[in-house]
Chains A and B, each alone.
Chain A
């Protein structure tokens, strides 16, 4: 069973986010970069499929050279090879533009299944997986918190508001991952894994290598733009309920405040 994982490199979730001087993007100079956690869950699921069914796991990513480090991390976890789509023509792409490049890379690899995060922790777009599936004409199952496959079909658990749905699709299909670290428990790269990863194949490709028309992606083709960024309103400093009250007195005062001042209970 051959698996492709679409992997995005994102800033660490502990990062403090600042707006760049152009007012339209996030300052990236002092960020620490990680594999998008939801994509990391997909890597873990891919490796479990490999252990169960055999086959290869290929990591497909896009962006500048710094992304190589995240691909190598996935290779150190146990993936077999990587592809980085690095092309300045992709700059300024909307999600659809990126999806076109990713779909072209998937077509070339011809996997049985494509796995990726349901969203990335940077721009929270939740668009990449469904868009790639649509471009491929494949079914997609979104937001998996459990996954199983017998090699010919795939089944997932998908939490919805107030319940759970079990979905099934015939392969080839695309699955996006929800859940959390506690659900997927992604493995750490072992030291031998890290040594081996250095020798695993990692190809850098241009759009032309994938047969993607550069005019179909990039800023010029974007159907949506981020025109400006702003910081969320600062919360006014709150008040500590104390006033020499004992524990019980604080409970009384808190309930009074929530009922009479905030009017939320």
Chain B
């Protein structure tokens, strides 16, 4: 069989992250087009028993590096270990998540492999066996198609939340091969990991985002958005103006400096729509804008616009969503 499409699965705190299934699914679609199969690389501690489950997402074989020294992602250890496995597998294409760790891993790995990396891709195609990948540039103001010269290994990281997951095949298990790896001495270490257990949803992985800008007038008013977000199961974002004003943490910032998000629904409240903000949320599937200024640029991007004072409107909206949710359940 032709060289496989190889995906790198991301494992954290006892499970594969959803984005791992997304890259496996994207890998499967590409492998079908190239007439080959999908293999995977999984790195971590105590993961050999879990790796077979990647079979549910059409992975035929998983190469596993399982070692206590690999419990947490550190570029200095993960990169040489994965590079050694890639050399052994000799894939046609390498696909990995464009998660926080994945983007970092991909870049250092590409340098080690002397390969070309297309980062944060939103589409992968092939024509007559030639692979192409599409990625946003300028935070989505423009899109670039990447190609690889003959003989170069395409390395592609996929933006979370974009690649459709296959329907899982519940009874399929992947073959698992434990690989003996040599783990280099690392000069960098993980001192601590602090996972938020409050159930706060990560902006880049949220299906719904409620975001507030300068129109919120102060940090205390974000409870309005938090109430709405809670009922919607949404994450709360903010514009640069709100973050610069110190109303919201920087981790909430959506925009060209900040996070680029692509939820199913983005509700922009009191956000005028500066070009750098629009770049960060413009690829959301549906956009709702609430602003009292009917001339605000955000309305040119919004599927549904509401010209109202947010302080009057948002509580009513929250109440209507509450009614809907209670009637659905």
Point out residues on A near B: beta carbons under 8 Å.
11, 13-17, 19, 26, 37-38, 94-96, 99, 121-131, 133-135, 138-143, 145, 155, 158-170, 173, 179-183, 222-232, 235, 237-242, 247-248, 250-252, 254-255, 257-259, 262, 264-265
Contacts and interface: CB of A to CB of B under 8 A. Distances in A.
A264 B116 CA distance: 37
Contacts of B258: 180
Interface in B115-140: 115-120, 132, 135-140
Interface of B: prevailing SS = mixed
B193 interface: yes
B201 to A, nearest CB: 8
Given A96-B111, A140-B108, 19 more contacts: A16-B141, A133-B75, A169-B188, A173-B188, A181-B240, A183-B250, A223-B114, A224-B148, A224-B152, A225-B147, A226-B144, A230-B142, A230-B145, A232-B142, A240-B294, A247-B313, A254-B320, A257-B304, A264-B264
Interface string B28-50: 00000000000000000000000
A224 B152 CA distance: 8
Interface stretch (B52-60, B215-223, B283-291): B283-291
Nearest to A19: B142
B143 A229 contact: yes
B1 interface: no
A232 to B, nearest CB: 6
Given A223-B148, A224-B147, A168 B191 contact: yes
B21 to A, nearest CB: 15
B308 interface: yes
Contact of A182 (B148, B149, B246, B306): B246
A130 B136 contact: no
B90 interface: no
Contact of B142 (A126, A134, A163, A231): A231
B64 interface: no
A7 B112 CA distance: 23
Find the residue from A155, A162, A179 having the highest chain B CB count within 10 A.
A162
Give the dominant DSSP class at A's interface: mixed
13 contacts: A14-B276, A128-B107, A130-B75, A130-B108, A140-B75, A163-B195, A164-B194, A180-B258, A224-B118, A225-B147, A225-B149, A240-B305, A242-B307
A142 B100 CA distance: 9
Interface residues of B, number: 105
A179 B253 CA distance: 9
Contact of B274 (A14, A138, A231): A14
A40 to B, nearest CB: 10
B230 to A, nearest CB: 13
A127 B167 CA distance: 33
A18 B159 CA distance: 23
Interface string B202-223: 1011001000000000000000
A247 B196 CA distance: 37
A235 B111 contact: no
B204 to A, nearest CB: 7
B286 A251 contact: no
Contacts of B288: 254, 258
Contacts of A94: 116
A187 B120 CA distance: 31
Contacts of A96: 110-111, 114, 116
A131 B108 contact: yes
A144 to B, nearest CB: 12
Contacts of A183: 250
A238 B305 contact: yes
Given A165-B190, A265-B208, A130 B152 contact: no
A164 to B, nearest CB: 5
A228 B301 CA distance: 25
B79 interface: yes
Given A99-B111, A126-B103, A247-B308, A255 B143 contact: no
Contacts of B120: 124, 126
Contacts of A17: 138, 141-142
A60 to B, nearest CB: 17
B307 A240 contact: yes
A26 B138 contact: yes
